[in-house]
Structure formats: structure tokens, C-alpha cells
Amino acid sequence: MPSLEVLLAFAATTAVFAFIPGPAMLYAAARTMAGGRRAGLWAVLGIHLGAYVHVVAAAAGLSALFHAVPVAYTTVKLAGALYLIWLGISMFRAPAPSNGVPNVPPTSAKKAFLQSIAVEVLNPKTAIFFMAFLPQFVDGDGGLPLWAQLAILGAIVNATFTFADVVCVFLAGLIMTRLKGSGTVQKLLQRAGGTVLVGLGLQVAMQRT
């Protein structure tokens, strides 16, 4: 494994990246605004598990495919963008809250979990990030093989990002709790969550790399 100095630099850099608002954090906040803290936490868990697909891909070197075959990257990127936009539009079409309580079906948390896995798996940016970031901190002369080092570092990155997403969910949930008595505000928050998802989808679709 890398030296202690390199690992400390890795941890510090990962923390900086994790707490910079990004698509996953905004997605978790949008899910919280639409379905409450429980749905937000399930969404974070889905993102966390979905990210392991990219950790494994990076460890196996498969994400290099996106560099070698641009069409594959573009196809997956557009699929993920369309899925985000569809989720955002679904939030807009959801019934208005009644007496300040959001109209979220009992399976909303489960759906948030499953949809979040799909969103993260369909995010080639995550694959590119792991492929570009992790190799900077591996030790070619270390006792562990490179794939094992990449897997361990990837798991640490994923856990750090998940912690940041959980913090975001609790902050969004706190705002929801304080505004719980207002059905109008709840509907506005629900639409705000839909706007975030549609915006993320459009941003992903328009990004060139």
C-alpha cells in the first residue's frame, strides 16, 4: 500500500471532493425533498451500492472502455440523463400534498433505493472519476496487487462520499421538518426536487466528457 503521507493526502483530497455539491448529493437532497428523510437515506444507500459497480470496473480496468470507445460512453451518459429527467418529471406530476403531508406511496423509499442504483450505475462520470483518481495513489511496488489497492481505495472513496450524502439528507430533512405544516411549501419543495433532477439530467446530457 502507499506510504502514510500518500494515504493522508488521499484522505484529504477525497474529503474535499466528497463535500463539494455534486450530482449524487443533489440527487439525494431532491429525493429527500420529494419523499422525506427515509426516502433520502434509501436513495443514498442505492447510490452507495451502485458506485461499487464502478469501483469493481476501475479495479478490473473495464472503465478504460469509455476512453477507448467514445460511443459507449455517450450511450451510457445519455441513458442516465434521460432517466434523471424522467424521474424529475415524475415528481412534477405527483399529487399535491394534503394537510402538509406529502403524497408519497408506501413503496417510495424502496423505489428511491432501486432508482438510485440505476442512476449511479448509468453515470459514466463516476467510472471516469475512479479511473482517473484512484491510480494516483497506488503503489506499484506495494505488497498488494494493483487491483486490490484500487478496490480498497475505491471503497474508501465510496464510503466518504456516502457520508457526505447522508449529511446532505439530514440537512434537507431538517428543512422539511421545519416546514412540515405548510402543504404549499411541501409542494414547492417537491417541485424543487423535480427541477434539480431535470437540471442534472440536462447537465449530464450536454457535457462533452
C-alpha cell, 116: 438510485
Q: Extract the runs of DSSP E, i.e. beta strands, from 88-167.
A: none
Nearest to 76 by CA among 26, 27, 127: 127
pLDDT digits (tens, 9 = 90+) for 48-91: 999 999 999 888 876 666 667 778 767 767 877 787 788 778 76
Whether pTM > 0.75 for this model: the answer is no
Instruction: Quote the pLDDT of residue 38.
Output: 87
Model confidence band, residue 42 (pLDDT cutoffs 50, 70, 90): very high
pLDDT digits (tens, 9 = 90+) for 159-205: 999 999 999 999 888 876 666 555 566 666 667 767 777 876 787 67
Instruction: Quote the pLDDT of residue 2.
Output: 62
Q: Are 14 and 153 in contact (CB under 8 A)?
A: no
Instruction: Quote the pLDDT of residue 102.
Output: 41
Neighbours of 123 (CB within 10 A): 28
Instruction: Quote the pLDDT of residue 140.
Output: 63
C-alpha cell, 46: 442505492
